[in-house]
């Protein structure tokens, strides 16, 4: 039996016990984010994801008709694959650690809950932006390879819209992940009801659909606008919504994470 030495009385927390600064919290979470992806399986999954669309776009490219290329890059990639990838990547922001029982290691660090959530979200969004940036490069290469007349111009617009799309869908997906363990199905229902349903109905409430605003921005490229019958009306509203929505959604997520407990034991009962 070891009798411990004379322990000092439990003094109050002093000023030297400070929360971890933003920079270090971001650095730590960024390290954990990318290091965990550098294993065989995640790398293989990511490579398959990154290659499949450019290969399909390449296979189906027709010099006399650019429509398939536009459909791959906008309908298939930007409006479907990007939201799904964000849902997969950001939905599990907290849930993955919770289900893997590794959340307590992170939550017991001297980082406020809101700061932790925002820093983790920022790292995950940065990682997704990086991967999708590579994907964008591949798609641009396919366009340039086949000498699509406006590949460069369209790709620059596509990149800008993609950055906004990742921010908006990523923060929304992270919120879904905070709200329910079945965030994938929640996202699916959201997609059916809001993005597919409301977005296609010409009413005032289609402002809630993120894809509606993305389409408004993509319509700045005339061939895309003509192909899909999209209009550039309310471009500023689209920019405003796509810029403010991530701020609002991230803030809401931080608020929820600050007040709500996340317990592995409850997760297992679902």
Q: How far apart are CB 112 and other proteins at their closest, in Å?
A: 5
Contact of 128 with 170, CB cutoff 8 Å: yes
Site for other proteins in 112-141 (CB under 8 A): 112-113
Which of 109, 133, 201, 240 binds other proteins (CB under 8 A)? It is 109
Residues 211, 53, 172: CA angle, nearest 5 degrees: 30
Q: Who contacts 207 (Cβ-Cβ below 8 Å, separation ≥6)?
A: 213, 237, 241
72 binds other proteins (CB under 8 A): yes
The 249-268 contact track toward other proteins, x by CB under 8 A, reads ---------x--x-xxxx--
Which of 76, 159, 255, 256 binds other proteins (CB under 8 A)? It is 76
165 binds other proteins (CB under 8 A): no
Q: How far apart are CB 252 and other proteins at their closest, in Å?
A: 17
62 binds other proteins (CB under 8 A): yes
Q: How far apart are CB 16 and other proteins at their closest, in Å?
A: 9
200 binds other proteins (CB under 8 A): no
Contact of 264 with 101, CB cutoff 8 Å: yes
21 binds other proteins (CB under 8 A): yes
Q: How far apart are CB 185 and other proteins at their closest, in Å?
A: 6
Which of 46, 50, 106, 179 binds other proteins (CB under 8 A)? It is 106
SS3 per residue for the chain = CCCCCCCCCCCCCCCCCCCCCHHHHHHHHHHHHHHHHCCHHHHHHHHHHHHHHHHHHHHCCECCECHHHHHHHHHHHHHHHHHHHHHHHHHHHHHHHHHCCCHHHHHCCCCCHHHHHHHHHHHHHHHHHHHHHHHHHHHHHHHHHCCCCCHHHHHHHHHHHHHHHHHHHHHHHHHHHHHCCCHHHHHHHHHHHHHHHHHHCCCHHHHHCHHHHHHHHHCCCHHHHHHHCCCCCCHHHHHHHHHHHHHHHHHHHHHHHHHCCCCHHHHHHC
Q: How far apart are CB 122 and other proteins at their closest, in Å?
A: 14
Q: How far apart are CB 258 and other proteins at their closest, in Å?
A: 6
The nearer residue to other proteins, 135 or 241, going by C-beta atoms, is 135
Residue whose C-alpha is closest to residue 20's, from 126, 127, 107, 122: 107
Contact of 221 with 148, CB cutoff 8 Å: no
Q: How far apart are CB 66 and other proteins at their closest, in Å?
A: 11
108 binds other proteins (CB under 8 A): yes
104 binds other proteins (CB under 8 A): yes
Site for other proteins in 84-103 (CB under 8 A): 84, 88, 91-92, 95-96, 99-102
Q: How far apart are CB 62 and other proteins at their closest, in Å?
A: 7
The nearer residue to other proteins, 96 or 234, going by C-beta atoms, is 96
Which of 3, 64, 229, 233 binds other proteins (CB under 8 A)? It is 3
The nearer residue to other proteins, 175 or 241, going by C-beta atoms, is 175
């Amino acid at each position: 039996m070891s009798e411990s030495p004379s322990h000092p009385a439990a003094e109050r927390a002093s000023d030297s016990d400070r929360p971890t600064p933003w920079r270090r919290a971001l650095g730590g979470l960024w390290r954990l984010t990318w290091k965990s992806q550098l294993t065989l399986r995640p790398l293989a999954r990511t490579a398959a994801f990154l290659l499949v669309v450019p290969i399909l776009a390449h296979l189906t490219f027709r010099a006399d008709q650019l429509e398939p290329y536009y459909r791959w890059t906008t309908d298939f990639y930007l409006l479907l694959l990007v939201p799904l990838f964000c849902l997969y990547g950001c939905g599990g922001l907290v849930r993955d650690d919770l289900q893997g029982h590794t959340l307590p290691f992170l939550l017991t660090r001297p980082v406020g809950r809101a700061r932790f959530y925002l820093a983790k979200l920022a790292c995950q969004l940065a990682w997704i932006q990086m991967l999708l940036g590579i994907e964008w490069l591949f798609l641009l290469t396919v366009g340039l390879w086949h000498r699509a007349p406006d590949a460069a111009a369209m790709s620059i617009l596509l990149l800008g819209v993609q950055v906004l799309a990742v921010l908006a869908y990523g923060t929304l997906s992270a919120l879904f992940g905070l709200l329910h363990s079945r965030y994938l199905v929640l996202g699916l229902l959201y997609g059916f009801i809001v993005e597919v349903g409301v977005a296609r109905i010409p009413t005032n409430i289609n402002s809630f659909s993120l894809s509606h605003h993305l389409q408004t921005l993509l319509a700045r490229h005339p061939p895309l606008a003509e192909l899909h019958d999209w209009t550039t009306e309310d471009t500023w509203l689209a920019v405003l919504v796509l810029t403010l929505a991530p701020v609002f959604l991230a803030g809401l997520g931080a608020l929820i994470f600050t007040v709500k407990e996340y317990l592995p034991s409850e997760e297992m009962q679902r």
